[in-house]
Amino acid sequence: MEKQKFTIADQAIKLDDRAKMYLTKKVYTLSGNKLGTVKDILFANGKITSLLIKGRNENIIDFKHIKPEINDRIMLSIDPISLLLGKTVFDKEGKKLGKVKSINQIDNKNEFTEMTVKRNIFTRSQIIKAAEIETLKENIILNTEY
């Protein structure tokens, strides 16, 4: 019984050390955009499965997208699609359509089929398909005219 208690405590110490590597660290995406800071860590069967990152939005990032080298900051191997939220959308002729309000994600993948864009509370939402996006950087430029 005492031997079992020692093993569980030992595992807890190891997990605690690993968790400290990640908690409160700043997280940057593949494109160099700051996503936020690590607020919590999710475990399953003694292994880290994902990190809860809090920035402009809350993101749960699968651990497989975290680059193994940990330094001052944590680097991701992806650009999470949640970063699209709040970006301004312009059409092909530069007409401002509004801001991204929601994204239609494909299962649990980092991909989406369409997004909802709205200019203000008095206007209708518009559905924009992912294939219509030409430029996706600080804001979004479409390849079609609205």
Got the DSSP string for 69-103? --SSEEEBSS--GGGGTT-EEE-TT--EEEEEEEE
| Shortest Å, Cβ 146 to other proteins | 10
| Closer residue to other proteins (CB): 2 or 69 | 69
| Number of C-beta neighbours around residue 144 at 10 A | 13
- Segment contacting other proteins by CB under 8 A, of 52-60, 69-77, 103-111, 124-132: 69-77
Region 91-130 residues binding other proteins, contact defined as CB under 8 A: 91-96
- Segment contacting other proteins by CB under 8 A, of 13-21, 39-47, 86-94, 104-112: 86-94
For position 139 contacting other proteins by CB under 8 A, the verdict is yes
Q: Is 2 left (phi over 0), alpha (psi -120 to 50) or beta?
A: alpha
For position 24 contacting other proteins by CB under 8 A, the verdict is no
For position 69 contacting other proteins by CB under 8 A, the verdict is yes
For position 138 contacting other proteins by CB under 8 A, the verdict is yes
- Sort 141 into a burial class: Cβ within 10 Å, 0-12 / 13-18 / 19+: middle
| Shortest Å, Cβ 106 to other proteins | 24
For position 32 contacting other proteins by CB under 8 A, the verdict is yes
Q: Which of 20, 56, 73, 101 binds other proteins (CB under 8 A)?
A: 73
Sheet holding 88-90, edge to edge: 126-129, 112-118, 96-105, 88-90, 140-142, 133-136
Binding site for other proteins (CB under 8 A): 28-34, 67, 69-75, 88, 90-96, 135-141
